[in-house]
Chain A
Amino acid sequence: MDGDRLRRIGARGGHAGLILLFVVFSAFPFYWMLITMFKRESDLLRRTNNPFIYSEPPTLENLRVLFEDTLYGQWLLNTLFVGAVVVVITLLLALPAGYALARLAGRGGEQIGIAIFLTYLVPPTLLFIPMSRVIGDLGLQDSLWSLVLVYPSFTVPFCTWLLMGFFKAIPKDLEEAAMIDGHSRFGAFVKIVIPISVAGILTVIIFTLTLVMQEFVYALTFITAARNYTVSVGVPTFLVHGDVYFWGSLMAGCFIASVPIAILYNFFVDRFIAGFTVGAVK
């Protein structure tokens, strides 16, 4: 075996090792949730047990506790409800805005687009204090509708920006043909452009749902009754707050709410990145 080949094998091994290190760092907490959620309490709480293996047979008891003795199922439903309504609002606002910015507003469209996108960067932690007052004055304190009202403040800017890029990539010929056929500009948008934009609309739906699932600060501020929590606030505040930590159920709750959406999201991540990089990549 000559030195060159040896070096190549070494480089490949080093490469694989490096990737493995990063994968372990990123995925370990989720792997740990998965292991913990099927462990018996007595197994978990004996310090001498090897935590990487099941010293006692696995159990579904933690899942039963999570779904029967806590409001977890309700929190999931709340999250889905808020997510669904916010998706509708976001699409209604962002689809026309994204299209108009891409096609109609000319050179100014780009600048308005950037201005809209920048509002996405205004963080909840800057706004949640006055917002809590406004929500109170509207009588929406402790209601899921407060989240429905506020969440579009970050989904609309991001999705408008995303759709603007998406519409720019659609050839103009189709709409122009439709307008020759007598459709108005708006008619062409509704009847021709939207039906061929399924991919863009799906992307918006996925991102809106993930953003809604992730949101924490507003939900923590506006919602006080346990049964009105969304999942990202319910699990850490309600299941952790007591003196006793039900680690098995807790980890099950985290895993179930994290992993499916992460897998779904993975299919759309390239579009998301295209949005973030603002055309810095051609």
Chain B
Amino acid sequence: MSDSTVRAEPRPGAVADRARGSRLGFLLDEPRWLSVLMIGPAVLYIVLIVGFPFVLAILYAFSDVTVGSRSLDFVGLRNFTSVLATSKFQTALKNTFIFAIVSQILVMVLATILAIALTREFRGKWVVRLLLLFPWVAPISLGTIGWLWILDSTYSVINWTLEALGLIGPGDWFMWLGVPRLAMGSVITVHVWRILPLATVILLAGLTSIPHDIHDAAQVDGAGFWRHLFQVTVPLIRPIMLVAGLFGLVFAFTDMIVIFVLTRGGPYDTTQVLASLAFFTGIQGGDLAEGAAVALFLFPLLVAVAIGFLRAARRTEVT
């Protein structure tokens, strides 16, 4: 049934409205034109602000543009080959994978445990949820400064506690951000801290959507806790775990804030990732072309994630 047949008896003033601008009225009524008019501005804005710079990013990566120069000459793959050859880049690439994959595995395991624990009702649950959400909602850079103070080389509360418990002596305080392996561990911990709430609430939404009778049936069949978990619960929330995992991966691969605030890539570039290297090369170093080339290495990773996301969306639509 089309819209025009619905409008059987117009109210008196409507006729005048229609007469005033029949062409405009047509645009405001015909679903196809109206939807173009209503969606158009948003799409146009996104194309201009995301699409255009994105094309520029690709152009830059194949050019010799710097902050000072106005000209833009194409240099083919030179930026990529020169970037690829540097040990700085190779370290950053390796660090990006370590950082993203280790933190994402931790996030998924911890979030699953926490989400299952939260499916049970208990008193004060809303306070717990509020506190658990803090790291995700607070501005990342500011939450990370809290960690900067907690991990401070001279005044770290963790070291103080360890010493008070007699686990370390006064002379062996850990330099959380000053020793390569510890620094990587620290930035991963802080990143896990920040992403965990998001993954948890997504998984929790999945868990609460499982109908009760499925759990009851498993109970009746005598499934123990672990069998229940791996053969009933996890398969049922697999699509949503995929969603949580993909979002987490995007954030982990592309984020530089935690690293920028805590270590600035140091010590000795051992926590430098592609995103932070792109910033230091392109913006602080002024070499836009090389920075763009570094950043562009993030793109294939994102495409892979987007495809995974679309597949997950399609699969849930079918079921």
Binding site for B on A (CB under 8 A): 15-16, 18-19, 22-23, 25-30, 32-33, 36, 44-45, 47, 50-52, 92-94, 96-97, 99-101, 104-105, 109, 112, 114, 116, 118-119, 121-134, 149-150, 152-153, 156-157, 160, 176, 179-187, 210, 213-214, 216-217, 220-221, 231-233, 235-236, 240, 247, 250-251, 253-254, 257-259, 261-263, 265-266, 269-270, 273-274, 276-282
Which residue in B45, B135, B292, B313 is a CB contact (below 8 Å) of A152? Answer: B45
Residues of A within 8 A of B283 (CB): 128-129, 132, 221
**Interfacial chain A residues near B299, Cβ < 8 Å:** 126
* Complex: A257 Cα to B134 Cα, angstroms: 12
Interface residues in B111-151 (C-beta closer than 8 Å to A): 113-114, 117-118, 120, 122, 126, 128-135, 137-150
Residue pair B129, A96 in contact (C-beta under 8 Å): no
When the two chains form their complex, are residues B135 and A126 in contact, meaning their CB atoms are under 8 A apart? no
Tell whether B206 is near chain A: CB-to-CB under 8 Å: yes
- Complex Cα distance A44/B149, Å? 11
B108 at the interface (CB under 8 A from A): no
Whether A233 pairs with B141 at a CB distance below 8 angstroms is: yes
Residue of A nearest to B275 (CB): A125
Interface presence of B310 (CB below 8 A): yes
Least CB distance from B233 to A in Å reads 14
The one of A182, A187, A250, A261 in contact with B10, judged by C-beta atoms closer than 8 angstroms, is A182
Known: A93-B45, A183-B14, A250-B149. A276 touches B247 (CB 8 A): yes
Residue of B134, B278, B310 with most chain A CB atoms under a 10 A cut-off: B134
User: Is B256 located at the chain interface by the 8 A CB criterion?
Assistant: yes
**Chain B residues within 8 Å of A, Cβ to Cβ:** 3, 6-11, 13-15, 17, 25, 28-29, 31-32, 34-35, 37-39, 41-43, 45-46, 49-50, 52-54, 56-57, 59-60, 65, 110, 113-114, 117-118, 120, 122, 126, 128-135, 137-150, 154-155, 157, 160, 164, 193, 196-198, 201-202, 205-206, 209, 239-240, 243, 247, 250, 254-257, 260-261, 275, 278-279, 282-283, 288, 291-292, 295-296, 298-299, 302, 305-306, 309-310, 312-313, 316-317
A96 touches B254 (CB 8 A): no
Of B15, B155, B164, B197, the contact of A44 (CB 8 Å cutoff): B155
Tell me the bound Cα distance from A185 to B134 in angstroms: 42
**Chain A residues whose CB sits within 8 angstroms of the CB of B126 once the complex forms:** 266
A253 vs B145: C-alpha distance when bound (angstroms): 10
- Does the CB pair A181–B143 fall under 8 Å? no
Please judge, given known A-B contacts A129-B288, A181-B11, A277-B202, whether A116 and B129 are in contact too, CB under 8 Å. no
B50 in contact with A45 (CB, 8 Å)? no
A277 near B240 (CB under 8 angstroms)?
yes
Chain A neighbourhood of B295, CB < 8 A:
125-126, 128-129
| Contact across chains for B49 and A152 when beta carbons are under 8 A apart | yes
Q: Which residues of A contact B140 (CB under 8 A)?
A: 214, 216, 232
Q: A126-B295, A277-B202 are in contact. Are A259 and B31 (CB under 8 A)?
A: no
CB distance from B295 to the nearest CB of A (A): 5
- Would you mind naming 6 contact pairs between A and B with Cβ atoms under 8 Å apart? A22-B110, A97-B41, A100-B35, A101-B35, A109-B35, A180-B9
The 3 closest A-B pairs by CB, nearest first: A182-B14, A258-B138, A29-B146
| Additional A-B contact list (5), CB under 8 Å, known A30-B146, A258-B142 | A29-B143, A97-B42, A104-B31, A126-B295, A250-B149
Smallest CB separation, B313 vs chain A (Å) = 5
A-B residue pair count with CB separations less than 8 angstroms: 325
**In whole angstroms, what is the CA distance A33 to B138 when docked?**
13
CB distance from A88 to the nearest CB of B (A): 13
Contact A100 B139 (CB under 8 A): no
A282 to B317, CA, bound (A): 10
With A265-B133, A280-B312 as contacts: A236 and B141 at CB distance below 8 Å: yes
Most chain B CB within 10 A, of A157, A186, A187, is at: A186
Q: Is B54 touching A156 in the complex (CB atoms < 8 A)?
A: no
Which residues of chain B have C-beta atoms less than 8 A from A183's C-beta?
14
Of all chain A residues, the one with the shortest Cβ separation from B118 is A19
In the complex, A156 Cα to B14 Cα: how many Å? 34
Which of A23, A134, A233, A280 gathers the greatest number of chain B CB atoms within 10 Å? A280
User: Does A216 contact B201, Cβ atoms closer than 8 Å?
Assistant: no
Interface core residue of A105, A157, A277 (most chain B CB under 10 Å):
A277
Residues of A within 8 A of B257 (CB): 216-217
B46 to chain A, nearest CB (A): 5
Chain A neighbourhood of B39, CB < 8 A? 96-97, 100-101, 105, 112
CB distance B46 to A119 under 8 Å? yes
A152 to B247, CA, bound (A): 20
- Given the known interface contacts A277-B240, A280-B240, the answer about A15 and B120 at a Cβ–Cβ threshold of 8 Å is yes
Please determine whether A134 and B53 come into contact, CB atoms closer than 8 angstroms. yes
Q: Are B150 and A32 in contact (CB under 8 A)?
A: yes
Q: Which residue of B lies closest to A89 (CB)?
A: B45
Q: Which residues of A contact B37 (CB under 8 A)?
A: 96
Chain A nearest Cβ from B199, distance in angstroms: 10
Report A-chain residues with C-beta under 8 Å of the C-beta of B254: 123-126
Bound-state CA distance A87–B65 (Å) is: 35
CB pair A150 B138 closer than 8 Å: no
Interchain CB contact under 8 A, A114 and B302: no
Q: State A121–B252 Cα separation when bound (angstroms).
A: 12
With A217-B257, A280-B316 as contacts: A23 and B128 at CB distance below 8 Å: yes
